[in-house]
Each structure stands twice: as structure tokens, then as C-alpha cells.
Amino acid sequence: MKRYRWILACGLMLAAPGFARAHGAEDMPAGPIRDRMELMEHIGDDAKAINEAVKAGKTADALKPAENIVSIAPKFTGLFPDGSEDPKSRARPNIWTARDEFDAFNTYLVEAAQKVADIAREGGDLRPAVKKMFGTCKSCHDKFRIPEED
Ligand code: HEC
């Protein structure tokens, strides 16, 4: 019985929005921290739309959100001026000490989203490209984003 409840709890956690957050851009005053949170929230929405397109088998529907990621993601790394840390931000301090790696992760995301856009435009199996794109989110978050407090 206990085991069943545990499995149920895990199921509920998976059902919750994949990128839940304690604080959002709307909690922040105008500035680079708010801008980067907002930008990531848009990327989150686009990623969700891509995922839904895959699930529905509507390859072409992934085009717009993938192109949107390609166009906005490159702005992300410019939104970390020195000292732009904040208790409400989940940016890990190593962003400022491992810049090259942080920038490289962002480039991987842009390249992966470009690949998704190409397939959405030309047709083909989106799944491997989408999986790869989500992998870039995860690698960067694992290394450069403070985990959600529970
Ligand atoms: C280059 C690193 C990097 C990549 C790549 C990246 N993220 Fe993020 N993401 C971050 C960081 C850092 C934050 C926290 C920003 C802050 O709070 O200041 C964040 C925050 C977020 C947030 C907002 C929630 C929050 O913590 O405030 C969402 C949603 C999100 N990312 C989704 C995604 C998705 C989806 C992808 C891939 C399609 C992705 N991210 C790729 C680094 C990255």
C-alpha cells in the first residue's frame, strides 16, 4: 500500500508542469534578471508547443515555436551582467565563472532548435531532434540552474 502511494506521488509529480517554478518574471523589477526569466518562460512555452506537436503527430506545428527559440535564445546569455544575482533568480553563481561553457550550452540549444525547425519545415521524424533539444535544456539546467526548493 505504501509503495502504491509512493508511485502515485511520483505520477503526480510528473503530471505537474515540467518546469514549475517558485518565482516568476512577474515578481521581479524591470531589468536583466526579469528579462532573462521572461525569455526562459517563453522558451518553456515554445518547448511545450513542440512537445504537443510531436505527441499529436503534427510535425508542421513545431515550426513556429522552434523558430521562435532560434530567434530569442541567443539573447539569453547577454542578460547576465556582473552582479545580477538575486534570491529569486535561479541562476547559479558558476554562470559567472564558467561563461564559455554556459555560452556553449546556449549555442547547443539554438542548433538543436534549428534542427527541429528544419525537420518541421521539410518533414520527417521530429522525435530524435526534439529529444536532443530537450537534452540541451536539461544539461544547462543541471549545471547552471539552482534546483527547485521543495
Ligand atoms: C544555457 C543554459 C540554459 C539552456 C540551454 C536552457 N535554460 Fe532554461 N534556464 C536557465 C537558467 C540559468 C534559468 C534561471 C534563470 C534565472 O532565474 O535567472 C532558466 C530558467 C528556465 C525557466 C523559467 C523557470 C525559472 O526557473 O524561473 C524555464 C521555463 C526554462 N528555463 C525552460 C527551458 C527550456 C524548455 C529549455 C530548452 C528548450 C531551456 N530552458 C534551456 C538556463 C538554461
Q: Give the model confidence (pLDDT) of 63-104 as tens digits.
A: 999 999 999 999 999 999 999 999 999 999 999 999 999 999
Residue 68 maps to which CATH number? 1.20.120.10
Atom of ligand 1 nearest to the CA of 33: 18
The answer to the question of residue 51 being in a domain is: yes
Q: Is the pTM of this model over 0.85?
A: yes
Segment 19-64, tens digit of pLDDT = 555 678 998 999 999 999 999 999 999 999 999 999 999 999 999 9
The answer to the question of residue 24 being in a domain is: yes
The answer to the question of residue 149 being in a domain is: no
The answer to the question of residue 17 being in a domain is: yes
The answer to the question of residue 77 being in a domain is: yes
Backbone angles phi, psi at 89, to 5 degrees: -85, 145
Pocket test for ligand 1, best of 21, 34, 40, 132 (most atoms within 8 A of CB): 40
Q: Regarding predicted confidence, which is higher, 148 or 40?
A: 40
The answer to the question of residue 108 being in a domain is: yes
Of 114, 112, 109, the C-alpha closest to 76 is 109
Of 18, 15, 67, the C-alpha closest to 46 is 67
Provide the pLDDT for residue 24: 87
The answer to the question of residue 140 being in a domain is: yes
Nearest CA to ligand 1 atom 20: 40
Q: Is the pLDDT of residue 129 over 80?
A: yes
Provide the pLDDT for residue 2: 47
Name the amino acid, one letter, at 84.
Answer: S
Which burial class, exposed, middle or buried, applies to 26 when counting CB atoms under 10 A from its CB (0-12, 13-18, 19+)? Answer: exposed
The CA distance from 150 to 73, in Å, is 28
The answer to the question of residue 150 being in a domain is: no
Which burial class, exposed, middle or buried, applies to 54 when counting CB atoms under 10 A from its CB (0-12, 13-18, 19+)? Answer: buried
Count the domains in the chain.
Answer: 1
Range of the domain at 50: 2-144
